[in-house]
């Protein structure tokens, strides 16, 4: 599946069939600091992500 990351904007391709929280963990990202948006819809962390999903991982922490 395609995973879109921010700050800076970039895309990585990783295998699907895993829960959103597992993907966050593998990418070294905290659950409390991110939202997972799958095919344009906000989803909870236990959602299983499939190979053909387009997933956005959106950071929510601002430093200002």
Q: Which residues bind other proteins (CB under 8 A)?
A: 6-9, 30-35, 37, 41-47, 58-64
13 vs 60 by CB, closer to other proteins: 60
Residue 35 C-beta: closest distance to other proteins, Å: 5
How far apart are the C-alpha atoms of 13 and 61, rounded to whole Å? 24
3-state secondary structure of 21: helix
Residue 40 C-beta: closest distance to other proteins, Å: 10
Is omega for the bond preceding 55 within 30 degrees of 0, making it cis? no
Residue 28 C-beta: closest distance to other proteins, Å: 12
15 vs 41 by CB, closer to other proteins: 41
Evaluate whether 49 touches 18 at the Cβ level (below 8 Å): yes
């Amino acid at each position: 599946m395609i995973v879109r990351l921010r700050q800076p904007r970039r895309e990585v391709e990783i295998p699907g069939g895993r829960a959103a929280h597992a993907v966050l963990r593998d990418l070294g990202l905290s659950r409390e600091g991110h939202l997972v948006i799958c095919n344009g819809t906000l989803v909870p962390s236990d959602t299983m992500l499939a190979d053909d999903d387009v997933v956005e991982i959106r950071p929510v922490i601002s430093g200002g």
